Amino acid sequence: MILDRKRSTFGWIDVLLLIFLLGLALLPPIDEVHKQLTLLAIGILQVLEGRLIAKLPQRGPAYSVILKILLATLLIDHTGELGINSDYYPVYYLPVATAAMYFRTLGTLCWTVLTSLAYCSLLIPAIKIEDYELTPEGASVLATRILFIFLVAILINRFAMASKRQTLEYQEISETLEETNRQLRRAEADARRSERLAALGQMSAGLAHEIRNPLGVIKGSAEMLAQKVHDMNPLASELAGFIGSEVNRLNSLVARFLDFARPSHLDLRPARVPEIVDRAIEAVRHQFPAANVTIQRRYADHLPDVLLDSQLCEQVFVNLVTNAFQAADGAGACLEIGIEPEESNGKSGVAVIVEDNGPGVSPELREQIFNPFFTSKKDGVGLGLSIVAKIVDDHHGWIKLESEDSHGRGARFHVFFPESPSD
């Protein structure tokens, strides 16, 4: 059965239908009350059919066909001398037309057979009359009418099925276009991000190289100054030590700039993603030994090996898990990490989902968190997620921040690595 939902509102086609049925009701014999009441019932049923099917999508079409067969049989029985000879026999086109629109071909044929049997049942009272005789001409007329009923049913079913197939094709095309548009928007966002990364990366590289040389001079001078004034001026020695420690911090920051700016030279080897993630979790555990965060692992079985640079990918998950620890630390803090096979854009690979129950990321910041130098932390420099995105991009994968839960809390990072990033 085809479960199309028909409109349930009263339209101009229903008005035309009622006009035509009114015309039949006004044809002689006008004083035939049974005929007029039956035509009125048919009109009401046809007008309310949409509401019936909308309320009962599974059984509504069958109820409508059965009622129309009964009403058609009743109309013919009251409008002909022997019923079977009634000029209103085309009323049987109504139930078969309804069946043709709502059922497939086999179902339409079954309902048409039932309609034909209902029509032939009118012969039963006629054959009880002694002077009635079904002549060859009469049998030919009866067969012709029944065949026309089948012909109407098949023709309407053919067009109805073609319309439904075309509608399904349009729906599939619409879904394909929608998916293509989503991919195009994603590609445009990736392209814009890549342009920003390239421009800022070049700037970072130049700036880092320019800063490193004077930092070396400053650090060396501070160390020499600390040695010379160590005994004579403890305060000056302590200040020189501060200079050295701050220079070391700046050197670390410059090193991160260079990590972000320089082209990646991947050492790709088959690797098991769960092992890399577990190493990253242990590294963060050692970094935050007092963190009160519960970790839940959901690793799928039989995960494929993926061509990865294990050291760089471990850096990816160290950054993500570190951010999750910092966001979710506290009473009831929880970090969920899921690893499962996934298909993306025709490529098979492995997806890693890192989800915390921290405060989450506000909607206005969601498009900026992967940009370089953007951070919401007081002591951050905004390169952690930028470096993560760069490493994932170099592996021809992708990373995105998905929507939070219904309460607007938590961050959910979805990372995908293809099995073979070279294609």
If one compares 226 and 3, the residue with the highest pLDDT of the two is 226
DSSP string for residues in 299-336: EPSSPPPEEE-HHHHHHHHHHHHHHHHHHH-STTEEEE
Residue 406 has pLDDT above 50, yes or no: no
What is the per-residue pLDDT across 318-337, written as a single tens digit (0 to 9) for each? 989 988 888 776 656 888 99
Any bridge partners for residue 413, and if so which?
Answer: 354, 401
Q: Are 335 and 328 in contact (CB under 8 A)?
A: yes
Q: What is the pLDDT of residues 21-35, one digit of tens each?
A: 788 777 777 667 788
Q: Which helix (H) or strand (E) is 111 found in, with range? A: helix 105-120
At 82, which amino acid appears?
L
What pTM does this model have? 0.46
Instruction: Give me the residue spans of the domains in the chain.
Output: 12-134, 186-261, 269-418
Q: Give the tens place of pLDDT for each residue, 83-134.
A: 677 888 888 999 999 999 999 999 999 999 999 999 888 877 665 554 566 7
- pLDDT by residue (tens digit) across 211-247? 777 877 787 777 777 777 766 777 777 777 778 777 7
Which has more pLDDT, 284 or 196? 284
**Among 86, 107, 89, 88, which residue's Cα sits nearest to residue 153?**
107
User: Is pLDDT larger for residue 376 or for residue 246?
Assistant: 246
Q: What is the pLDDT of residue 341?
A: 93
Please report the pLDDT score of residue 131 as a whole number. 53
Mean pLDDT, the chain, integer: 81
CB 17 within 8 A of CB 44: no
Q: Which residues make beta-bridge pairs with 343?
A: 348
Q: Is 308 left (phi over 0), alpha (psi -120 to 50) or beta?
A: beta
Q: What is the mean pLDDT of residues 358-365?
A: 75
Residue 408's pLDDT is 53
145-156 residue pLDDT tens: 899 999 999 999
State how far the Cα of 207 lies from the Cα of 270, in Å rounded to an integer.
36
Judged against a pLDDT cut of 50, whether residue 5 lies above it is answered with: no
- Residue 201 burial (CB < 10 Å; 0-12/13-18/19+)? buried
ω into 418 cis (within 30 of 0): no
What is the dotted CATH code of the domain comprising 269-418? 3.30.565.10
Q: Give the pLDDT mean for 413-417.
A: 93
**pLDDT category of residue 259 using cuts at 50, 70 and 90:** low
Entry field: residues in the chain: 423
- Using a 10 angstrom Cβ sphere, with 0-12 exposed, 13-18 middle and 19 or more buried, the burial of residue 265 is exposed
